[in-house]
Amino acid sequence: MSLLVVGLSHRSAPVSVLERASLAADTQAKLLQDTLAAEPATEAAVLATCNRIELYADVDKFHAGVAELSTLLAQHSGVGLEELTPYLYVHYEDRAVHHLFSVACGLDSMVVGEGQILGQIKDALARGQELHTAGRLLNDLFQQALRVGKRAHSETGIDRAGQSLVTFGLQQLAAGADPALWAGGKRALVIGAGSMSSLAAATLARTGVAEIVVANRTRSRADRLVEILQQGDDTAVHARAVEMSAVGDELTRADIVVSCTGSTGLVLTADALADALGVTLDAAPEAPAVTAVAPAPGDVDQHAAWVENGSAASAAHAGPVAAPPRATVPAQSTGPVRLALLDLAMPRDIDGAAHRIAGVRLVDIESLAEASADAPMAADVDRVRTIVSDEVAAFGAAQRAAHVAPTVVALRTMAADVVAGEIARLDGRLPDLDEKQRAEITQTVRRVVDKLLHAPTVRVKQLASEPGGAGYADALRELFDLDPQTVAAVSRADLNDPNRGRS
């Protein structure tokens, strides 16, 4: 079996496609179950965030797996396969491991070095474990990805290579000014009380806003976030919670709005924003459009055509990947900013037509992606890439060694059975042996067998951990005529170990 990942992200697809392809929690569960029911896959996990949707699976056939996973993604996302295919990337075996480890370290994030992806990877693993779709391979893979990500953040300055999406968004809203000076004394409205909204509220509090109003569909969660904000030792912000129905009124008093909810529709329409500012949307000047070019797959490392073990032949087999279309983005209205909007949701919470309202500045996921494309890369990024490469090699060696382990266990079990059989036959031939003599003979035979098996079993584990070493387990089974069902039983026992894959 081999690891395969099929997905799309902000690097391969425009925001409009990512919005349409976003997966709700219940849809993710159905996708995992359907993936496991598909013939090529025996394990599955889905990593779905604002900026990426990736389906991981343990498959026995590469091309059939690519076709099946791509079709399943299209079916569950609601985006047709023909439309979705140009934006998909595929990684296989070591390249798939390399991709996930890079994602865990923040190298593949919209803002390089952000650490929130670790929580999302942890959630993806927990979902797979809860639904019993993540087996030995994906448990090991995602657990190791979490460790690699934590190592990157603790051993390097990758955090300095970029800021959190919230901080970066506030910098864009400040338009070159010091965010603390720009935001100081302002009133902020935070819509949503999830992890991203909570981070936004905490960041705003540290930045120096005078007041934060939290609106959420579940009032108790908004109240809890306000309580946390007021308990902070490093801020003196005034915070209060309101019902979602009060958002319209709060807009008239807010200077900054940050929205990140799980809504599938718009939370703030252009009309509502225009009403809050006391302007008529239809009368607002139409700003000229500027054209932004989404990065072509060939421009981003590891986002090329479908790849099998990194071979050009496989990429050619999969066919060329079309470049994403050019996206037309309305320019910001000119004049003084009366209301600054930061939309961190996917699908978006705030109507893109807000660009046309005089006095409004809108920063959303799409504009953040464009702004971060030219962000300077810190030297620490190279150190993290080295960590990722080393960890990929170590993970591959460990997996290959683990692949031969059941065969070694089966061999030693067979040897123990042979010893037991011969000792039993000796008892029949020499019934007068006392217990001490029988024990000494038994121990001697066992030592002989152990010494004979020690060197080849240790060596086969070493050889199996090297690239191309997967065939050694097959050779061992063939040479010692091991029962395949016995080896499979050892593998199943290892897979069902309740302590495996948990930290």
CA-based nearest residue to 103, from 152, 57, 58: 152
Model confidence band, residue 247 (pLDDT cutoffs 50, 70, 90): very high
Which range, of 88-97, 441-450, 487-496, averages the lowest pLDDT? 487-496
Strands 289-292 and 327-330: antiparallel
Q: For residue range 58-83, list pLDDT tens digits in order.
A: 998 899 999 999 999 999 998 999 99
* Per-residue confidence (pLDDT) for residue 29, from 0 to 100: 94
Residue 370 clears pLDDT 80, i.e. is over it:
no
CB 423 within 8 A of CB 433: no
Query: What value does the CA radius of gyration of the chain take, rounded to a whole number of Å?
Result: 29
Instruction: Average the pLDDT over 4-26 and give the result.
Output: 88
Amino acid making up residue 96: A
Catalytic residue flag (residue 50): yes
Residue 401 pLDDT greater than 80, yes or no: no
Q: Which of 77-86, 241-250, 433-442 has the lowest mean pLDDT?
A: 433-442
Tell me the average pLDDT across 74-94.
Answer: 94
* pLDDT value at residue 256: 96
Query: Contact at 8 Å (CB) between 9 and 52?
Result: yes
Comparing 405 with 213, the larger pLDDT belongs to 213
Question: What's the confidence (pLDDT) of residue 335?
Answer: 63
Q: Is 59 helix (H, G, I), strand (E, B) or coil?
A: strand
The number of C-alpha atoms within 13 Å of 394 and in the hemisphere containing its C-beta is 12
Residue 164 pLDDT more than 80?
Answer: no
Contacts 24+ apart (CB under 8 A), 482-487: 482/407, 482/410, 482/411, 482/414, 483/410, 486/410, 486/413, 486/414, 487/406, 487/407, 487/410
Residue 418 — very low, low, confident or very high, per pLDDT cuts 50/70/90?
A: confident
Two tokens, residue 265: 């529709």
**Is the distance from CB of 261 to CB of 191 less than 8 angstroms?**
yes
Q: What is the pLDDT of residues 126-136, one digit of tens each?
A: 999 999 999 98
Query: Which band of pLDDT confidence, cut at 50, 70 and 90, is reported for residue 321?
Result: very low
pLDDT of residue 482: 73
Mean pLDDT of 87-104: 96
- In angstroms, the CA 6 to CA 85 distance is 10
pLDDT at 341 over 90: yes
Highest mean pLDDT among 303-307, 329-333, 391-395, 466-470: 391-395
The first and second tokens of residue 183, run together, are 């935001």
| Selection from 258, 253, 244 nearest residue 200 by Cα | 258
> Given a cut of 50, is residue 315 above it in pLDDT?
no
Task: Please give the angle made by the CA atoms of 286, 334 and 375, to the nearest 5 degrees.
Answer: 110
For strands 2-9 and 41-48, give the pairing.
unpaired
pLDDT at 286: 44
Q: Contact, 403 vs 58, CB < 8 A? A: no
Place of tokens 């569909």: 217
| Helix/strand/coil percent split, the chain, to 5 | 55, 15, 30
In eight-state DSSP terms, residue 333 is P
Mean pLDDT of 184-202: 89
Residue 299: CB atoms within 10 Å: 13
Q: Is 60 exceeded by the pLDDT of residue 463?
A: yes
What is the pLDDT averaged over residues 166-177? Answer: 87
Q: Coil, strand or helix: which one is 359?
A: coil
- Specify the pTM: 0.62
Write down the pLDDT at residue 372.
Answer: 66
Compute the mean pLDDT over every residue in the chain, rounded to the nearest whole number: 80
| Cis peptide preceding 347, ω within 30 of 0 | yes
What residue type is assigned to position 144 of the chain?
Q
Q: What share of the chain in percent tops pLDDT 90?
A: 40
Q: What is the pLDDT of residue 158?
A: 83
The residue ranges of DSSP E strands in 93-248, in sequence order, are 187-191, 211-215, 238-242
What's the CA gap between 173 and 188, in Å, rounded?
13
Read off the pLDDT of residues 278-307 as tens digits, 9 standing for 90 and up.
887 654 444 433 333 333 333 333 333 333
Q: How far is CA 218 from CA 75, 191, 201, 385, in A?
A: 31, 11, 17, 41
Rounded distance between C-alpha atoms, residue 390 and residue 137, angstroms? 19
Checking if the pLDDT of 142 tops 60, the result is: yes
* Residue from 50, 105, 137, 258 carrying the catalytic annotation: 50
> Quick one: which of 91, 93, 55 has its CA closest to 72?
55
The alpha carbon dihedral of 196, 198, 199, 200 has a sign of: positive
Specify the pairing of strand 52-59 against strand 211-215: unpaired
Q: Is residue 430's pLDDT more than 80?
A: yes
Average pLDDT over residues 134-148: 94
Comparing CA positions, the residue from 179, 175, 49, 57 lying closest to residue 109 is: 49
* pLDDT at position 498: 43
Assign 186 a pLDDT band (cuts: 50, 70, 90). very high
pLDDT of 331 higher than 80: no
**Residue 315, class by beta-carbon neighbours within 10 Å (0-12 exposed, 13-18 middle, 19+ buried)?**
middle
Cα–Cα distance, 340 to 355 (Å, whole number): 11
The CA angle 114-125-110, to the nearest 5 degrees, is 20
Residues 6+ apart with CB under 8 A from 495: 135, 136
Cβ neighbours around 370 below 10 Å, total:
17
Whether the pLDDT of residue 376 is over 80: the answer is no
| Cα–Cα nearest to 410, from 473, 342, 347, 327 | 473
Q: Which of the listed ranges 272-276, 310-314, 404-408 does the model predict with the highest average pLDDT?
A: 272-276
